[in-house]
Amino acid sequence: MLASSAAEQDYCYFEVRLVDLPPDADFSVGVARQSQEPLKDFAQGNLGAAGEPGWGLSASTMASLEMRAGDVIGVYIDQSGAPRVDFALNGKRLGPDYALPRSKAEEIRGQIYPAVSVGNGASLECVFDEAHFKHLSPTESFKSIIVAREML
């Protein structure tokens, strides 16, 4: 599922709350391009390969973090220079092992959208309103996604 607004500003952030996470739950969190093709590769965790529509982390990638219902995944999108997508869990940045490798991040240029997928009983809640973020520091450069408006 894609958000309705693209992440077009230099620094943006959104959160994904894990509402229900059964033991075999599957999900992916990240960014993707708007496409006519279904995001089946994104949903299957095949993220960031050449020609694929999305970049992010899957539940299997994050299995060692022992996530549970109530946890919050923060997604930091930096398009100011060399593109980056970083992740946090419950307010703590996960570091380079969970960030997209620079070779993958370079493919992110252009219009991208926050994206999630769920399977096997997983339930997620996306939060795009800065007033409802649980973990974004007020000193961060990252802000909620600004909805673009067409002007004549």
In DSSP terms, which residues pair with 77 in a beta bridge? Answer: 12, 85
* Predicted confidence (pLDDT) at residue 38 exceeds the cutoff of 50: no
Q: How confident is the model at residue 36 (pLDDT cuts 50, 70, 90)?
A: very low
Q: Is 45 left (phi over 0), alpha (psi -120 to 50) or beta?
A: left
Q: What is the pLDDT of residue 17?
A: 97
Locate 43 and state its tokens: 């949903």
Which domains are seen in the chain, by residue range? 11-132 (2.60.120.920)
Q: Whose structure tokens read 């992010």? A: 56
pTM for the complete prediction?
A: 0.84
Strands 11-20 and 54-58: unpaired
Locate 47 and state its tokens: 């993220």
> Are 81 and 31 spatial neighbours (Cβ–Cβ below 8 Å)?
no
Q: How confident is the model at residue 105 (pLDDT cuts 50, 70, 90)?
A: low
